[in-house]
Amino acid sequence: MINFEAHTKDERKEMLNSIGLNNVEELYKNLPTDIRTNGLNLAQPYSELKVTQEIKRLSELNKTNYASFIGGGASKRFIPAAVSQIASRFEFNTAYTPYQAEISQGTLQSIYEYQSMICNLTNMDVSNASMYDAATACAEAVLMSARITGRNKALVCKRMNPQYQEVIKTYAQAADIEISNDLSQIGSDIACVILQTPDYFGAIHDVEKLKENITDTQTLLICCCDLIALSVLEPPKCDVIVGDLQPAGNSLSFGGPYGGFLACLDKYKRQIPGRVVGRTTDADGNQAFCLTLQTREQHIRREKATSNICSNQALIALQTTVYLTLLGTKGLKQVAMISANNAHKLAQKLMDKGFELQSKNFFNEFVLKVNNADEFLANLKENNILGGIKLDENRVLVCVTEMNTDEEIENYAYFAV
């Protein structure tokens, strides 16, 4: 009979003897008995074939034929097959960390190209090598503004994604930064004003109008933007632009991992968190890439560090780079326009049925007013439609992308009651 145990009885006895114990129970004598387990009650080991068959059986229990209209920070978008094929090539998988530039030129170049594309889309001067996600990018931008201005108060628009707001509060609390949602408090003691456009409810904001209320030249304006929307909407004129990379080449993946982008004006580059890759020439005059700025405590004096972020979302950023390269400027605009047109098409059909929208000034997400959100969404789900996110008893956040077909849009409007 094959022994599947990691260690034999003799091996376990030898290890126990070496530390002066008689049995395994003595290892846990300091633990209260009420928190100990009596084993994991696992099934007998299966062969690889049996495990594969069981996983397939379990996967078939998932329902995957829903038409999805869920957004709120992560949405279902088309990803060309070439994205994963290129990103999973061994040249990227086996490349060493960018710290040693001489043996990681491919990784460094892909990050450099990513930074260049982010700067192009945001109309900013400098981009870092990516953040963990949009929420941490927002929080890091707030910390960045506090360092630049020497102030400890930030105004956060209450129409931002609630998850982003929570992460900002968590970061700010540890950094002794006061957070307020009252934008009427804009004054000379404010480090930054941060808003989202299109916001969590889909509405597009007039950033120029808001800037008129920021009379103090030291106060930074931070905008959280949709990367796809930036291809057709004029990038806001501000100091820092952040956002999420998920819509651009990264799957939903049950909630992650995602990546965030952060770009700023040139004068703030020394305060940018994370790492920045630069391009130069080597001793022979050949093009070379290296980490130009490395601003965490590992690289410079601890008190001079701008962030404790340990790395960047290299794979997510790589997939975004491949995605943007494959689509190009024309293709990305086409994705944005199809999404916007689909969203407005569905919104119009719903208004024709008597529904009301919270705002008609939106990109590809809108808030629909309903009589009972739970019943509204349940009815759609019974007809294989994930209708959106419940905001409260009478409001649903609906997201439409290039993935939603005319038939799905017609069905949504038909079953919406």
- Strands of the sheet with 240-244, listed across from one edge: 126-127, 260-264, 240-244, 220-224, 192-196, 153-156, 178-180
Q: Which residues contact 12 (CB under 8 A, 6 or more apart)?
A: 24
Question: Are 273 and 337 in a shared domain?
Answer: no
Task: For residue 47, tell me if it sits in a domain.
Answer: no
Does one domain contain both 411 and 283? no
User: In this predicted structure, which of 47-56, 299-308, 332-341, 389-398 has the lowest mean pLDDT?
Assistant: 299-308
Quick one: 149 and 230 in the same domain? yes
Task: Say if residue 205 is in the same domain as residue 308.
Answer: yes
Report if residue 263 sits inside a domain.
Answer: yes
d(CA 28, CA 38): 13
Q: What per-residue string of b and e applies to 263-275 under the rule 16 or more CB within 10 Å gives b? A: bbeeebbebbbbb
Residue 281 lies in a domain: yes
And the tokens for 405? 């077909």
pLDDT of residue 43: 82
Average pLDDT, integer, range 241-264: 96
Dist. CA 308–CA 143, nearest whole Å:
11
Average pLDDT over residues 368-383: 98
408 lies in the same domain as 312: no
Mean pLDDT of the chain: 92
Residues 248 and 135 placed together within one structural domain of the fold = yes
Most confident of 3-17, 39-53, 299-313, 352-366: 352-366
CA 323 – CA 300 distance, rounded (Å): 34
Predicted local confidence at residue 1, as pLDDT: 44
Q: For residue range 233-246, list pLDDT tens digits in order.
A: 999 999 999 999 99
> What is the pLDDT averaged over residues 90-117?
85
Both tokens assigned to 300? 């410079």
Does 347 fall in a domain?
yes
- Same domain for 263 and 381? no
In this prediction, residue 41 carries a pLDDT of 83
- Give me the mean pLDDT over the 11-39 stretch: 88
pLDDT of residue 409: 98
User: How would DSSP label each residue in 263-283?
Assistant: EE-GGGGGG--SEEEEEEE-T
Residue 337 inside a domain? The answer is yes
Specify the number of domains making up the chain: 2
Residues 168 and 266 in one domain: yes
* Domain span at 217: 81-323
Give the span between the Cα atoms of 180 and 185, in whole angstroms.
Answer: 8
Domain end, chosen from 292, 323, 354, is at: 323
What tokens were used for 252?
């939903």
The answer on 221 and 105 residing in a single domain is yes
Least confident of 3-7, 113-117, 189-193, 382-386: 3-7
Do residue 314 and residue 342 come from a single domain?
A: no
Say whether both 217 and 246 belong to one domain: yes
- At 308 the pLDDT is 77
Does any domain span residue 35? Answer: no
Check which CATH number belongs to the domain holding 364 and give it: 3.90.1150.10
Do 342 and 202 share a structural domain?
no
Does any domain span residue 97?
Answer: yes
CATH number at residue 93: 3.40.640.10
d(CA 222, CA 149): 14
β-partners of residue 50 are none
- d(Cα 82, Cα 99) in Å, to the nearest integer? 28
Neighbours of 299 (CB within 10 A): 13
Residue 34 located in a structural domain: no
Look at the pTM and tell me if it is higher than 0.95: no
